[in-house]
Structure 1
Amino acid sequence: MKMYQVDAFTTELFKGNPAAVIVSNDWLDVSLMQNIALENNLAETAFVKVIDAENYEIRWFTPQVEVDFCGHATLASAFVLFKDYTQAQQIKFHVKNLGIFTMNQAEDGKIEMNFPTRLPKPVKDYPSLLNQVIDRPFKAVYANEQAYILVCEHEQDVIEAVPNLNVIREIAQQYALSTALTASDALDVTITAESKDYDYVARYFAPHKGIDEDPVTGSMHTGLAPFWAGQLGKNELIGFQSSARGGKLYCKLLEDNRILISGYAKLYMQAEIYLSIASR
């Protein structure tokens, strides 16, 4: 079985966020998909099921859990499909609970992804442990269905912050104890600030899902970009995820609570997985 590894949201190898992509005609067994993701030990492994040359289903797995939405692995998957599986310039991903994601590829290789927005709201009553997540103060807390958003005063606060991963895990564990859900269902944490060179910068942490710091989190920018659009009074923004690898995201707000998030990708590897595969 063929597998690709693609660096997403970058034009350079060893930058952006690496994702593995596997394309098949049928879904693999869930436990097998999870084991492949664990073996890859990347933030996400994407599994794509072919419907036809322009339509596909997609699922995403971290090393520990299946997640409901992953932006960078969607970009990596679209890159692979445009490269080897279709002559179309537009394809559609059919996503459980989130509808259709439309992908368009420009002549220069940039891939434009049409996503639903995940608007954040201010949070006043947040876990007190959140004050210990980073080693510097923040000025406000917001949240959407994906993560707590800690808004910092200065760009350098985001770039230089040292996260306390154990505290993030503890917040997730407390969530699990107070609900019927698991720690992996708890909100992740992102930190953000206005930027001089870009419109905003951000970093993202989800150690309770097997991702200490995610290099570039495309899904989170469906919340960050609308937030900063409101703060800055503009509908087209460039976000930069200032992780060690770094990644640039081109964002444009649309009507009907939709957003275009665009970026480049770079192929790192094509590999063959040797398994006795049982499809379901």
Structure 2
Amino acid sequence: MEIKTFIVDSFTTEKFKGNPAGVCLLENDISADSMLSIAQELGLSETAYIKKLEGDNSFSIRYFSPKMEIPLCGHATLAAAKVIFKDSDSHQIHFNTVENLDLIIKRQGDEIIMEFPVYDMVPVTVPSIMLEALGIKEIINSSLSEKNKIILLEISDSDVLAGLNPNFNALINSYSGINGVLVTALSKNEKYDYQYRYFWPWAGTNEDPVTGGVQTFLTKYWSEKLHKKTMKAFQSSSRTGYMNVELLNDKVLISSTAIITFEGNLLGIDS
């Protein structure tokens, strides 16, 4: 079996910036083990597998990191939508996730707009060894997105955020039962409202270059702090990336751009 495969840089207007995702177009079902093996072979933070469903412009979508299946991923959704829109006149598609979320994706010029759910957070206390592993001396707030199993830490300085150089061996041993830690700060750059970085050695790679899925709780967090519904977010990883976000009750609209950098075929894949 051959599988049409793409690599797409998401949340950027420049090649080799943003977050690269693999996108595999499936004509036939393949096993979860095969999906994981392909994700490990590509070595990207996530690979999306999409398959056409009955009905107009509807597709199933599944996401795998090199370690495990991920229920929802922003940059891989954006990447998959970029691939579908490339050869389509449609301006709207639906992705159905493994958790039966119906993700509505729209195209508006060069931008792709994704409609994601919004999840609440609860307060959480983090151990000092986690902060030491991250290189953080002081935090403003710590919360947990129980749905995503992600801890949010707010710090006061976006320059400190950009300069973080975690000890990942110490970080992964500092806490259990989570997928990752997101560190965020009010942006000093007037072009953006807030900045963030996402570290997830528990479930994926050490650092996700640009993460859209965290907006399911991060947008609401900053919306309540800044009293704004529409904001601009910047991920200050080494590759960098941006997105516009809008909070609409129990939904968040995430909009940005993506660039296809590779197109080819995976050969000899077993089902």
Q: TM-score range by the shorter chain?
A: over 0.9
Equivalence for 2:263: 270
Q: Which amino acid aligns with 1:121?
A: V
**Contact map agreement 2:58 2:94 (CA 8 A) in 1:** yes
**Once the 2 structures are TM-superposed, how far is the Cα of residue 162 of structure 1 from its aligned partner?**
1.7
Partner of 1:192: 184
241, 250, 260: which one pairs with 2:253? 260
Contact 2:134 2:171 in 1 (8 A): no
1:151 aligns with 2:143: no
Q: Is the 8 A contact 1:168 1:189 kept in 2?
A: no
Aligned mates of 2:162, 2:113 — CA distance in 1: 27
Distance in 1 (CA, whole Å) between partners of 2:202 and 2:59 is 29
Contact 1:149 1:191 in 2 (8 A): yes
What is the CA-CA distance between 1:128 and the residue it aligns to? 4.2
Count matched residues.
263
Query: Conserved in 2, the CA contact under 8 Å of 1:26 and 1:50?
Result: no
Distance 1:239 1:98, change over 3 A: farther
User: Quick one: which of 32, 46, 57 aligns to 1:54?
Assistant: 57
1:201-240 alignment runs, 5 A limit: 201-240=195-234
Identify the residue that residue 29 of structure 2 maps to in structure 1.
Answer: 27
User: What do the CA deviations read for 1:159-186 (whole angstroms, capped 9, x no partner)?
Assistant: 11121211221135xx3xxxxxxxxx52
Match of 2:114 in 1: 113
State percent identity of aligned pairs.
Answer: 35
Which residue does the alignment assign to 1:95?
A: 97
Would the alpha carbon gap of residues 87 and 169 (structure 1) be closer, same or farther in structure 2, given more than 3 Å must change?
same
- SS of equivalent residue, structure 1 residue 211: coil
| 1:82 and 2:75 correspond | no
Q: CA 1:62–1:155 in structure 2 vs 1: closer, same or farther (change >3 Å)?
A: same
Greater mean alpha carbon deviation, residues 26-35 or residues 259-268? 26-35
Which consecutive unaligned segments of at least 5 residues does structure 2 have?
A: none
Q: CA deviation at 1:222?
A: 1.8
C-alpha contact 1:168 1:208 (8 A) present in aligned 2: no
Could you say what secondary structure the match of 1:21 adopts?
strand
Q: Secondary structure at the match of 2:161?
A: helix
- TM-score, normalised by the number of residues in structure 2: 0.93
The alpha carbon displacement at 1:188 in A equals 0.5
Where in structure 1 do 4 or more consecutive aligned residues deviate above 6 Å?
none
Aligned twin of 1:181:
none
The offset of 1:130, in angstroms, is 2.3
Provide the rounded CA distance (Å) in 2 between the counterparts of 1:98 and 1:158.
35
Letter in 1 for 2:142: V
Q: What is the match of residue 136 of structure 1?
A: 136
Give me the whole-angstrom Cα distance separating, in 2, the residues matched to 1:94 and 1:136.
38
**Residue identity opposite 2:264 in structure 1:** A
Give the match for residue 244 of structure 1.
238
* 1:18 alignment partner, SS class: strand
The CA RMSD measured in Å over matched residues stands at 1.5
Which of these residues, 162, 167, 185, is aligned with residue 165 of structure 2? Answer: 162
Q: Output the amino acid matched with 2:261.
A: Y
Q: Secondary structure at the match of 1:82?
A: helix
Q: Deviation at 1:122? A: 2.4
Distance change in 2, residues 1:235/1:144 (3 Å)? same
TM-score (normalised: structure 1)? 0.90
